[in-house]
Structure 1
């Protein structure tokens, strides 16, 4: 039995946790996903939700907020941890897969208090330790990296989809623009220039007010504003946003629905979050790299450029937004995912 531990404030690690659980279920392995924020009191969750809106609306606020972020475990009531530990004592997971470093002291306390033998796998989605893993070396566990900035490699991976990668010749002149799970970054600043360069744009929206450009070449796709990972076990529902027409939200089956937009695009224009790297790898869709959210995303972007999988937005803009540069990155990505060891196989070997 495997317990996958994620955090809903970082969909770039929560969604890979959901993907891993789906791949494990396909192998008939018992698995659960537990989201850290489900332990928090309502007042703290309300603050988190307000931060999500503020960070989406102003990237400068997000960058400042990242520097002063605190460990959410400090706000978890003791009785909620007692309930969780009692549940684990019944469930008796033999492996914990930790996607957020904030979980590590919780798991260590449980193992120590309950004397339960369990193997801890620390899964880094980013290419260097992200902020939640700042103090992770104090806790035992097997380290797994989905991307590694130091070794310039992708040492392990989680399959996003088994659907074959779409050949370059079959892709329309379309770009996907997004800002990760919270819609952060500068991606909305470049719509006019990219349309003028002859591209059709799919843009991920987080509020209906995000649809600011009235142009048939710009298509908005809204993540259900009422969806929260700490109240819903599935992937973020996504629906086409059209003026005057109710949005029909679609849930992903086996993967997040935004991946279906990623796999048909010529490129994704986004900040380089860890989950975005994973989508790029499995779709063979290159990244056009915008301003990162913190040093770990800066290192992610550097890695993707060094591997030939992406290009900095400013460099691409200065070249005149050529599709040929994207084609070269696509060719470097093509088939690369299936040459990387599958974390699912590693976790299920010997079971």
Structure 2
């Protein structure tokens, strides 16, 4: 039994964890998903939701929270810990795949009292140690650390997102997908307005329907969805189109509307000519598997700054200011797409790594 351990406050790590679980199940593995916030008391969860609202208003709140945030494990009651550990024992979990370093403290305590050994795989979606892992370096010393990206210029491992090849450049819509990561933060809405004024067609993910605009095709995360209540991918909803922004939304004909909404973020990325976003770990994975260039916005923390440097070094990305300096020239994007083509085949497949007997 494999337990995939994620955190709902970091969708850039949570979504790769969900994709890993999906791919493992397709290979016949028995997999569960545990979200850290699922074990928090209600008042702490309410504070998480309120924090998201502040982060969307000003990126500086998110940066300050990374420096000052307390360990959420402190808020998990002994009763909740006991229930979690009992469930792991009942399920017979023998492999834990960790996408948030906060889980390592819980695992360190649990495994220290458990007679049966377990395999611990700490999966890093960023090119350097992310905030949740910084205070956990001394915990679970037997853990294997795998990296989807590294600041030495390599992509050691990957999680396969799609079985289809990237959409050919000639089949791209010419649209740009503009977003602020899983929590819709940063300067992306101002940048979207500037791109629209320059005549570029946009798909824009906004924080809510009230933030929709009439100069872009807008989408928003379903407000009823929370990762600690739902193990599915985040569903996007379309917002009524503005003048001139009608058009076919990518997706399979006849697909279940609910499932189509969950796949929509990736489908929009797959058909776009570029992603305009801060460089979170989940965005890097989408860029890699869709071979869609990344136009880099301001990073949310030093780990995202390292992601930006790596994607530029590999020829996959262009800083927003550099693209603006050349008038948002479309011809600057195709070389980035060509650099990305085939890159997803070079890293080791994490599915194979997990299903290979560990010695």
Over residues 52-100 of structure 1, what are the superposed CA-to-partner deviations in whole Å (9 max), with x where a residue is unaligned?
1121122222222222111100110011000111111111211100000
CA distance in 2, matches of 1:190, 1:270: 10
Aligned partner of residue 121 in structure 1, secondary structure: strand
**CA-CA distance at 1:233 after TM superposition:** 1.3
Query: Are the equivalent residues in 2 in contact too, given 1:41–1:76 (CA < 8 A)?
Result: yes
CA RMSD of aligned residues (A): 1.7
Over residues 88-123 of structure 1, what are the superposed CA-to-partner deviations in whole Å (9 max), with x where a residue is unaligned?
111121110000000001111111112221010000
Query: Do structure 1's residue 32 and structure 2's residue 26 form an aligned pair?
Result: no
Query: Do structure 1's residue 224 and structure 2's residue 222 form an aligned pair?
Result: yes
Which residue in 1 is equivalent to 2:283? 276
User: Structure 1 stretch 293-302 or stretch 315-324: which is displaced more?
Assistant: 315-324
Query: Are the equivalent residues in 2 in contact too, given 1:239–1:250 (CA < 8 A)?
Result: no
Q: Can you give the 5+ residue segments of structure 2 that lack an aligned partner in the other structure?
A: 243-255
User: Structure 1 stretch 189-198 or stretch 137-146: which is displaced more?
Assistant: 189-198
Which residue in 1 is equivalent to 2:335? 328
Aligned partner of residue 103 in structure 2, secondary structure: helix
CA distance in 1, matches of 2:208, 2:326: 33
Over residues 289-336 of structure 1, what are the superposed CA-to-partner deviations in whole Å (9 max), with x where a residue is unaligned?
000000000000000000000000011111111111111100000111
Which residue in 2 is equivalent to 1:45? 45
**CA-CA distance at 1:250 after TM superposition:** 4.5
Which residue in 1 is equivalent to 2:100? 100
Which residue in 1 is equivalent to 2:253? none
Which residue in 2 is equivalent to 1:178? 179
Which residue in 2 is equivalent to 1:258? 265
CA distance in 1, matches of 2:132, 2:277: 22
**CA-CA distance at 1:33 after TM superposition:** 0.6
Query: Are the equivalent residues in 2 in contact too, given 1:18–1:33 (CA < 8 A)?
Result: yes
Query: Are the equivalent residues in 2 in contact too, given 1:238–1:250 (CA < 8 A)?
Result: no
Which residue in 2 is equivalent to 1:90? 90
Over residues 229-267 of structure 1, what are the superposed CA-to-partner deviations in whole Å (9 max), with x where a residue is unaligned?
0011111111210169xxxx9444797420000000000
Query: Are the equivalent residues in 2 in contact too, given 1:128–1:296 (CA < 8 A)?
Result: yes
Aligned partner of residue 5 in structure 1, secondary structure: strand
Which residue in 1 is equivalent to 2:118? 118
Which residue in 1 is equivalent to 2:200? 199
CA distance in 1, matches of 2:323, 2:115: 55
Which residue in 2 is equivalent to 1:152? 153
Aligned partner of residue 50 in structure 1, secondary structure: helix
Query: Are the equivalent residues in 2 in contact too, given 1:15–1:256 (CA < 8 A)?
Result: no
Query: Do structure 1's residue 305 and structure 2's residue 306 form an aligned pair?
Result: no
Aligned partner of residue 357 in structure 2, secondary structure: coil
Q: Can you give the 5+ residue segments of structure 1 that lack an aligned partner in the other structure?
A: none
Aligned partner of residue 332 in structure 1, secondary structure: helix
Going from structure 1 to structure 2, the CA distance change for 1:8 and 1:165 (only over 3 Å counts) comes to same
CA distance in 1, matches of 2:293, 2:41: 40
Going from structure 1 to structure 2, the CA distance change for 1:52 and 1:119 (only over 3 Å counts) comes to same
Provide TM-score, normalisation by structure 2. Answer: 0.92
Query: Are the equivalent residues in 2 in contact too, given 1:206–1:224 (CA < 8 A)?
Result: no
Query: Are the equivalent residues in 1 in contact too, given 2:147–2:157 (CA < 8 A)?
Result: yes
CA distance in 1, matches of 2:67, 2:357: 42
CA distance in 1, matches of 2:190, 2:124: 30
